[in-house]
Amino acid sequence: MRVFHPPKEAIESAVKMLKQDGIVSDDADFNYEAEEGRRKEIAHRDSDFLYRLSRVPEEALVVDSARQYLADAGLISPTANYDASRFEAFRKEIKLMFKGTWTSITPVMERLMYMLTAVKRPATLVELGSFWGNTLAWFCGPAVGTNPEYTAKRIIGIDIDREITELAEANFARLENVEKVQLIAEDAATALERVEGPIDFLYLEAKDEDDNSGYLDFLRQCYDKVPKGGWVIAHDTTHYDHTKDLTPYLSWVRDKANFSESICFDVDSFGLELSVK
């Protein structure tokens, strides 16, 4: 298991924001040597710090560093990248056209998800827990909208709530190049039975009353449909509300018998785990 932390420039920017907002004293420092889960001065798991880290002006630098991290690990080509200008244009489209409630997808996570799909360029993308479409939009962003970076064969969003899925359908109807998007209002456990493989990129976001313990059941159900080299991402993997729920899931994807690599992107309060089969 690997852990990606944002570069020092972004961390220092978040610390500066904490000081400007009067959260910490002017002489407070980030403790780079603190062990995971331990607090001493400003430590990485402090929620006030992570909130600001996910909104620093150096957002693009954070994601560029994450892309380089993947390249250094040999998981993507050294030349694989995303088009930052297309992302910015797509972000404006989503903010303008999509309607819905609050989301836990932070600004840095929006760009990170977009980048991951852009460098992977999967033919088939499947999200479990697509809600009103916001999460799916960042996941499939490089393949939809006014100026997509590539063409996907299948984009499938599954959510058990019919009313919220209808809202997602209305949101995607406002975008261009969405012919490949299919939204299914159904329990993922039954809908997955009809989704044919291969699933090149799977995104786990489905929750039951903020309980993420179903992630592992869903992944096991469609594990054989994920080809060798396929990617799986799971959101909320570092959030304190879900640490206990996700312990079995994280243990399973970090087992080399199941996935060749698993990377924790510790970039905000919620986190993202990328597992490579």
How far apart CA 273 and CA 254 sit, in angstroms, is 10
Task: Please tell me the distance from the alpha carbon of residue 53 to that of residue 49, in angstroms, as a whole number.
Answer: 6
Bridge partners (DSSP) of residue 183 are: 157
Residue 118 · residue 90 · CB < 8 Å: no
Tokens of 206: 């489905």
Indicate the DSSP class of residue 146: S
pLDDT at 255: 98
Q: What is the C-alpha to C-alpha distance for residues 181 and 155, in angstroms, rounded to an integer?
A: 5
Looking at residue 54, its pLDDT comes to 96
Helices (runs of H) and strands (runs of E) counted in the chain:
10, 8
Question: What pLDDT tens digit does each residue of the chain (277 aa) get?
Answer: 799 999 999 999 999 999 999 888 888 888 777 776 555 566 666 888 899 999 999 999 999 999 999 999 999 999 999 999 999 999 999 999 999 988 899 999 999 999 999 999 999 999 999 999 999 999 999 999 999 999 999 999 999 999 999 999 999 999 999 999 999 999 999 999 999 999 999 999 987 666 667 899 999 999 999 999 999 999 999 988 888 889 999 999 999 999 999 999 999 999 999 999 9
pLDDT at 211: 63
Name all domains of the chain by residue range, CATH numbers in brackets. 58-276 (3.40.50.150)
Tokens standing for residue 54:
């996910």
What the block records as the tokens of 27 is 């002489």
107-120 vs 59-72: helix crossing angle, rounded to 10 = 40
pLDDT at 40: 52
The per-residue pLDDT for 33 is 75
Amino acid letter, 65: S
